[in-house]
Chain A
């Protein structure tokens, strides 16, 4: 691994990686059963440098911002490297957002360059929102058909400079990426992550979960997500390891990829991990009685032998068939993005497949705590990573309070929003809005949320303010969206739901027509953003002098209602 303490920027470290590990394979890209390409670090450089040169010739220079909206693939990483090499600031956006949401964030980020795939560009270029983001001057589109209407964009494949590009140095304190943790509909939260944030986080994470040439990481989580950016790009690249991309995420192809590419690490969201568990459990349940007894006995032996620490060599021999289904080389499944239920973590550990469960948020730079497996604990999110100071603010009698963090990995602030930045970074400490306590062993146990938001099992952060636009002009006196847990706090991180608080007009009933209207609007939202039910309140919502709803005061009023009876189903 490179000694990252010597580097000032992501671009500088990656540049040296391409030289240091020139002959190693850095990327494998597959589409279903077909391997599309396999690149060494040398090939990667040969692809990225002409792109960097063309960007520079188009006027892109140090400090300029460029956005990527792409599914996971080689071109994502090649483009990101060309941006960093040129001193640019990367704005990675979630390809699953709607075109209108993309344009809003492109405008907010001030990106002058957009790199995207043709099917996404087809929708983006047709969307009305395009007009608001005049700052986007250059659009590069990948894999466009020969006769495609590019709507003002240029082909990524043909955007090549001929001579060598000039490397643009950056300093540790400079912004490397603007990562949106939320805010697609309301107040955009663009986390300004510095080069130092990434360099420090990479050192901390790889000290627990090392990469080296020959390690293969399966990249499934979107690369715009902090976890995949770190363990599916920057981490493996600075250690000479290989990243495997799949162009389809159908479960059967994901399953095949493990043995085919001898995967060492993979990161998953809890939803996918639970799905894997379900599939394995069904196979175990289908075993004939005799085989099942032998299997259960082997699992029991493995549990006893791995009580204090993982013993991969023993586990892979005891439970050979299970491990072979995962390729036989899988060291750890990294799970993140949302809370994972302890029984799922325990299920995999008992099979000899450790799951690195942790806790983090974009604002803190990927991960704050990670389970170090010394010993494995399914009931916690682990201990703070090296370099992380974590404290519990205003703890109650049971030790539970708000988790706050101080570290070199904490973001510089929210883009163009000093007010919001001052709310979350107080005296150098990042206030996470999550509630938890430390146990005697120094493990963090999360127990709920203080903030008005939910996180889905797919790892999506949903802020109620962001989806209120979908209910604009609803024929009622006023409305407001809440996370049910924010109104009725409960000590849980799963099963979180959104509710719509309604104040009807005088004499107005919650009838079928109104219900239908709400349902129609709700169905236009992506499935994980939909509201779960309605709460009726027959009084004016409390408002500030500027007529904004006082959400905390309204939540207190709603809290007096019985949650079971108050939420009307849709």
Chain B
């Protein structure tokens, strides 16, 4: 292995984007109900779902009643979930924002299914549904491969099955996992992501069966929601420490809905502790912050922003790179912050990177 020290892993293409182009890095396409997947399921699973109480994966990370789940105006008639209608997404996101690309992130909770055969069958169905009903219908769309992350070998098989489709640009990894993603248990997953030149998309939520906080089960959804930033930090520490980027020097990872302002201080701590403890992991040859800046990107919705623009600008500068942030609306989820606020406090050239150039480099959009 050669040193990775002087190669920027996610090189921004010089021709990429322009000042006005906008790419949305996190738009949710929601499976409306299990029946929508029937055309993509085998006779066995159609009959099983029809005749039993099994109704597929629940949306545990985004409770329907929660005001964070559906923003005003995104609601659909007949209790269909927001984000499940392409025509509405076209009208309210793609066209309204004048997007050149939108990266869809389907968060169908395959990871909550304990029956491995059901998990595999439903993941395949969701991906075929995405190809037929989303990617084939609008060339501005890119999508996320949904995989059973709890079964890394099966996940790898599914990535190899559909990863070559030009519409898929990343693999969805719910940030809540039963074991951190850097663990060697997940080696087949990263090998498949790397083999297919896809992005590892670590996303808010997940239902692995383990508590959503490292200290056990909280009582309220608010606790889980706020605490998710800690879980993202756990995954970043794991990926760097357990050498995933040393094994896969070209690997790209994006954190979706992670928040961004924690990153700077987090890297200070990570670098500091690495100096103390690096003998445990000699393959971590550079400061963790260098790995993160080379390999990891973050979408800017939500942004946990201080009230002062000056402080927000400082928090963004503390991240230490203008190549790490990627614009996202997180449609149809609702946050009290607006991504436009980030764009308004950074320099014009940085804003242009956030709006499109960083996304083009991350997902190799062309």
Binding between chains A and B: no
B residues near A (Cβ < 8 Å) are none
A residues near B (Cβ < 8 Å) are none
